[in-house]
Amino acid sequence: MKKILLLAALITISCNTTQKKQNEELPGRLGNKDLTVNDDKRINQNLLKAMIRNGLDGAAPAPPIKISSTEKEKLDYINSLEPVYQGVFNTVFSSTELPKNIESETKTIIGEDGNEIKIYISKPKDMNEDMPAILHLHGGGMAILSANDTNFIYWRHKLASKGLVVLGVEFRNIAGAQGNHPFPAGLNDCMSALKWVYENKKELGISKIILSGESGGGNLSIATTLKAKQEGIINYIDGVYAQCPYISNLYNKGESELKSLTENDTYFLRGDMNNIMASLYDGVDSKNPLAWPYHADKILLQGLPPHVITVNELDPLRDEGLVFSRKLQEAGVKVRSKLIKGTVHASECIFPLDIPEIHNTAIEDIKNFSYNLN
């Protein structure tokens, strides 16, 4: 009997050791639930230095409220985030110079809901022929930030310097200075902007229209395309370039196919914060594909224009972008997915001076995609 008990104990120890070793071999917080981005060996060291300098390293702070909090408490929390992020971006971009030989203007249109929508246009001064256009929909989880923020102005000018007409849409958010406007207000604004750009292609000197954006802007780029298909105007869009798209509304739900939600949680973004923002957009459990394109079925995806989906290796949102890319492929859509190694959420857009090679590669990839569309 003693031999049997001893053997059982040895087997238990061996299994525990094997399990511990297997856990340690898993990436990020899947292998070590206490890991921070600072100690993740995959992180680009130049990016990490920039994150430390701007107080974005370590574990992103937990929200002071819960998903069960009142709508007012959630809105107050999201409202408080906008000036914080804008302050960080102002600091990061204070050392950058806008590309020269770019001219800018602002147009104001009336959207389908009767509201005014500002469209910020950047294009080369020496433009002498029609060029592809990027209809840029900015990030911020459809919740905060403005198309007129420093970082987005720089992004538009940088793209324009590569021979593109770039139009930034000031759509309504669920919070911040552009809120409180839940789904589908922001999407309707993006759709109104698309229609205006298409109807004014000749005047604007535009040959093609590419929808593009990062994070929440990635969501809106895809969702606007889905809405365009439903309205029978999919021909208005020649391509979609979505960066680190925020599209699943499966945050903090333990989805097995979205391991990055656990693997990279607290690396710049947090699942509980994403969950709170998502709940204000279209409800806690919404799977409406126009709000959360991840849930679009094969029929809705069929016939869409070519897509590029880029994701960041150390982003909680990484896997939803990759899974969605596979869904597009299965629906017969021409799609390319790209993993940007060593980076956190949208860092190719946020840190142009600290990771210039990664930043410039992203800019060139958007340009090449736009010019190579049929």
Scored b (16 or more CB within 10 A) or e, 134-163 reads bbbbbbbbbbbbbbebbbbbbbbbbbbbbb
181 and 320 part of one domain: yes
The reply to whether 18 and 115 lie within a common domain is: no
Query: What is the value of pTM for the model shown?
Result: 0.93
Q: Give the structural domain span for 28.
A: 1-32
Same domain, 125 and 25: no
Residue 64 forms part of a structural domain? no
Task: Tell me whether residue 80 is in a domain.
Answer: no
310: alpha, beta or left, given left = phi > 0 and alpha = psi -120 to 50? beta
- Total of domains in the chain: 2
130 and 1: one domain? no
Same domain for 11 and 101, yes or no, is no
Per-residue pLDDT of the chain (374 residues; tens, 9 = 90+): 555 555 555 555 544 444 444 455 899 999 999 999 999 999 999 999 999 999 999 999 999 999 999 999 999 999 999 999 999 999 999 999 999 999 999 999 999 999 999 999 999 998 889 999 999 999 999 999 999 999 999 999 999 999 999 999 999 999 999 999 999 999 999 999 999 999 999 999 999 999 999 999 999 999 999 999 999 999 999 999 999 999 999 997 666 789 999 999 999 999 999 999 999 999 888 999 999 999 999 999 999 999 999 999 999 999 999 999 999 999 999 999 999 999 999 999 999 999 999 999 999 999 999 999 98
Question: What is the C-alpha separation between 143 and 200, in angstroms, rounded?
Answer: 29
In this structure, the answer to whether residues 24 and 95 fall within a common structural domain is no
Tokens of residue 136, six digits: 């840029």
How many residues are given for the chain?
374
